[in-house]
Amino acid sequence: MFYLIGLGLFDEKDVTVRGMEVIKNCSRVYLESYTSILMVGKERLEAFYGREIILADRDMVETESDAILEGAAQQDVALLIVGDPLGATTHTDIILRAREMHIPTQVVHNASIMNAVGATGLQLYNFGQAVSIPFWTENWKPDSWLARIEENYKLGLHTLVLLDIKVKEQSEENLLRGRKLYEPPRYMSPTVALSQIISAIETARSTSSESSAITLSSEGSLAITLSRVGSSTQKLVAGTLAELASQPQETFGDPLHAMVVVGKRLHPLEIDYAGVWAVDRESWVRVAREVYGVKD
């Protein structure tokens, strides 16, 4: 049997009882180590689970999955995934590969940022498409995600914004030269994400033929940042895009981070709940009433 086991959001103790039982009975245990990361190291996991853990990087999971699946038709093999196993298409792909090889599969679910974002007080059924924002470079500044945020916003839906992480990434020079040298890990901060979002909004406004094409604005759109969700040091910060962008980076807490761009359909209870984390509560309520049309 090939198992995909969700580890939850924070540390080794977030695994479910069922997941723990499976891990202890597997002949091999891999840890997917690039779509997200736990906030503790592999050694903590090994000590808690009582099993050796093999790190599986992007190359192994995406192009060398046969090595992971080897023998899984005759013995139990597990791939551990931070959050929930089906939160990324990479993991559905490896299930399809297992099926092609006639290997039975089972998924052990767990909490992920997709549902833990409810910590903001925003109702989960009012969330639209989630988006991922990659690090921009000098010559590469993709902004297709802005259209999805705008679409959600106009429909009144909140947008979960997943911030880029770079683990075991090569520089352009090393990639071109074929050198297996990797850059230090990088985790996008809300400061960087807000800068890119505001820049993309301003560019879209300046190049759009219709003034109403982009309704998002730095002064009139609300957002909430999240840090280390599910941990004892979890931190949320709320405000307009402009207010959040003006905060020093340490305001947002330590990585990992995510964000929510608040949609136009808001309930007063959502504003009250999230207002406790507002940079300026008076401004938070004013924008909610005047721009979002929230009634008391």
Query: Binding residue per annotation — 260?
Result: no
Query: Binding residue per annotation — 229?
Result: yes
Query: Binding residue per annotation — 241?
Result: no
> Which residues are bridge partners to 131 per DSSP?
161
Q: Where are the strands (E) in the chain, listed by range? A: 2-6, 28-32, 54-56, 77-81, 105-108, 131-133, 159-163, 165-166, 186-187, 222-227, 235-240, 257-261
Query: Tokens for 99?
Result: 């099926």
Q: Please answer whether residues 188 and 132 qualify as being in contact, where contact means their C-beta atoms are separated by less than 8 angstroms.
A: no
Using the structure block, give the residue that is written with the tokens 């505001």.
198
From the list 70, 108, 74, 111, the residue with the least C-alpha distance to 91 is: 108
Query: Binding residue per annotation — 6?
Result: no
Query: Binding residue per annotation — 163?
Result: yes
The answer to whether the bond into 256 is cis (omega within 30° of 0) is: yes
Query: Binding residue per annotation — 257?
Result: yes
Based on the number of CB atoms within 10 Å of its own CB, is 22 exposed (0-12), middle (13-18) or buried (19 or more)? buried
Q: Point out the annotated binding site.
A: 9, 84, 87, 112-113, 163, 229, 257
Q: Point out the annotated binding site for S-adenosyl-L-methionine.
A: 9, 84, 87, 112-113, 163, 229, 257
